[in-house]
C-alpha cells in the first residue's frame, strides 16, 4: 500500500514539473511564467524611479563616508608613528651630555610639523561633518600625540597644558580652495562626489608618506576664510596623560642608572600627583579609563620602589651611578680600600 502511494506522489510531481494536465502541472506552469517575468524585469531597472535614485544617493554617501574614514585613519597612523619617534628622542636627554636644550628644540619642531600637516588634514576632512562619527578613527593617534606633547612639556620644565589650549592649536583658519575636478561615471548632479573631491587633498610624496599644504600665514581678502577644527575630546586628553606615566617611570629608572638620584624623587612626586588626580575622577564610565588607571598604578609602584631603594640603600644606589657621593659613602662606611674592594666584587644571583 505504501509503495503505491509513493508511486502516485512521484507521478503527480513529475506531471507538475512538466506543466502537465494535473493540478500540480498547472501550478508548475504558473510558477514558471512568473519566474520568467521576474528574470526579464531584473535585467533593466528604471533609473528614473525616485526610489532607485534615492538608494543610489545613499550608496554614494556611504562610499564617501568610508573613504573619508580611511583617509583619517591613515593620518592617525602617521601621527602615532611620529609621536613615538618624538618620545624616543626625548628619552635621549642626558644631563651629563648637556643636550636637553637641543633635544627639546628638535622635539618642538617635530610637534609643530604634526600640527601643520597631519592634524590640518584631519581638520579639513571633518569640516562640515559630524566629528563624533570619526572620533574613533583617530583616537589612538590623538592619545599618542598627547603623550608626546605632554612629555615634551615635562622634559623642558614647562607646565602641562590644559586640554582647551591644545584644542585651540587644533583650530585652523585657511582660504577656501576650489574643488578638484575629477571624472566620474555617476550622474552629473552628484553633489557628494564633488564634496569628497574638495576634501581629498592628500598627496603621496616620494617617501610614501602623506604631504599636505600648511595653513597659510596670511589670508587674501578676496577669498573666503574657512575655519576647520580637529576635535580633541577631553577623554582622549586624559587617556594620553595616563600614558605619560609610563614614560615618567622609565625616566625615573634611567635617572637612577645615570646617577641623578634626586630626580627620581621628583618624578615619583609628579606621578603621585597624577595618580591622585585620576582617583578624583569617579564618573568616567570608560573601559579604557579603567585600563589606564591600572597601568598608572603599576608605574607608580615601580617608581616608589626605586625611591624606597634609594632611601634605604642610598649609598649603594649612588655608588652604582658613579656620582660624586662615592667618597662620602666610603668615608661613612669607614672602608679606606673602597675602590679596590669594588674591583674584586662579583655578581651574585
Rounded to whole angstroms, how far apart are CA atoms 59 and 67?
12
With CA atoms as reference, report the closest residue to 270 among 240, 244, 295, 305.
244
The Cβ of residue 196 has, within 10 Å, a number of other Cβ atoms equal to 23
Contact in structure between 154 and 246 (CB atoms under 8 Å): no
Q: What are phi and psi of 129, to 5 degrees?
A: -120, 165
Contact in structure between 192 and 60 (CB atoms under 8 Å): yes
* Helix (H/G/I), strand (E/B), else coil: 6: helix
Q: What is the DSSP string of 182-217?
A: ---SS-TT-HHHHHHHHH---EE-TTSSEE-PPPPS
Residue 213 assigned as binding residue: no
At which residue does the C-alpha cell 674591583 appear?
A: 343
Rounded to whole angstroms, how far apart are CA atoms 271 and 265?
10
Residue 343 assigned as binding residue: no
Rounded to whole angstroms, how far apart are CA atoms 201 and 177?
10
Rounded to the nearest 5 percent, the helix, strand and coil shares of the chain are 70, 5, 30
* Helix (H/G/I), strand (E/B), else coil: 292: helix
Is the backbone of residue 178 left (phi > 0), alpha (psi -120 to 50) or beta?
beta
Binding residues for Mg(2+): 147, 247
Binding residues: 147, 247
Amino acid at each position: 500500500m505504501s509503495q503505491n502511494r509513493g508511486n502516485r506522489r512521484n507521478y503527480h510531481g513529475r506531471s507538475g514539473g512538466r506543466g502537465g494536465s494535473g493540478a500540480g502541472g498547472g501550478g508548475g506552469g504558473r510558477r514558471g511564467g512568473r519566474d520568467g517575468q521576474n528574470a526579464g524585469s531584473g535585467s533593466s531597472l528604471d533609473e528614473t524611479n525616485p526610489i532607485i535614485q534615492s538608494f543610489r544617493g545613499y550608496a554614494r554617501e556611504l562610499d564617501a563616508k568610508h573613504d573619508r574614514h580611511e583617509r583619517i585613519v591613515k593620518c592617525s597612523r602617521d601621527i602615532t608613528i611620529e609621536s613615538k619617534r618624538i618620545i624616543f628622542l626625548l628619552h635621549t636627554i642626558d644631563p651629563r651630555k648637556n643636550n636637553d636644550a637641543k633635544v627639546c628644540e628638535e622635539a618642538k619642531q617635530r610637534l609643530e610639523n604634526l600640527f601643520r600637516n597631519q592634524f590640518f588634514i584631519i581638520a579639513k576632512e571633518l569640516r562640515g561633518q559630524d566629528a563624533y562619527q570619526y572620533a574613533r578613527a583617530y583616537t589612538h593617534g590623538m592619545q599618542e600625540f598627547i603623550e608626546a606633547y605632554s612629555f615634551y612639556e615635562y622634559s623642558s620644565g614647562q607646565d602641562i597644558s590644559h586640554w582647551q589650549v591644545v584644542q585651540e592649536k587644533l583650530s585652523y583658519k585657511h582660504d577656501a580652495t576650489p574643488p578638484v575636478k575629477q571624472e566620474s561615471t555617476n550622474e552629473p548632479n552628484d553633489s557628494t562626489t564633488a564634496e569628497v573631491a574638495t576634501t581629498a587633498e592628500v598627496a603621496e610624496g616620494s617617501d610614501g608618506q602623506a604631504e599636505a599644504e600648511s595653513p597659510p600665514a596670511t589670508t587674501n581678502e578676496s577669498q573666503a576664510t574657512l575655519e576647520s577644527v580637529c576635535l580633541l575630546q577631553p577623554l582622549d586628553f586624559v587617556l594620553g596623560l595616563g600614558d605619560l606615566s609610563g614614560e615618567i617611570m622609565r625616566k625615573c629608572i634611567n635617572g637612577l642608572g645615570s646617577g641623578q638620584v634626586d630626580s627620581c624623587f621628583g618624578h615619583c612626586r609628579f606621578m603621585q600627583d597624577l595618580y591622585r588626580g585620576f582617583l578624583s575622577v569617579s564618573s568616567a564610565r570608560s573601559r579604557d579609563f579603567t585600563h589606564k588607571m591600572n597601568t598608572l598604578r603599576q608605574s607608580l609602584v615601580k617608581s616608589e620602589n626605586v625611591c624606597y631603594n634609594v632611601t634605604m640603600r642610598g649609598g649603594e644606589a649612588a655608588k652604582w651611578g658613579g656620582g660624586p657621593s662615592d667618597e662620602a659613602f666610603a668615608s661613612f662606611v669607614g672602608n679606606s680600600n673602597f675602590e679596590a674592594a669594588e674591583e674584586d666584587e662579583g655578581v651574585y644571583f
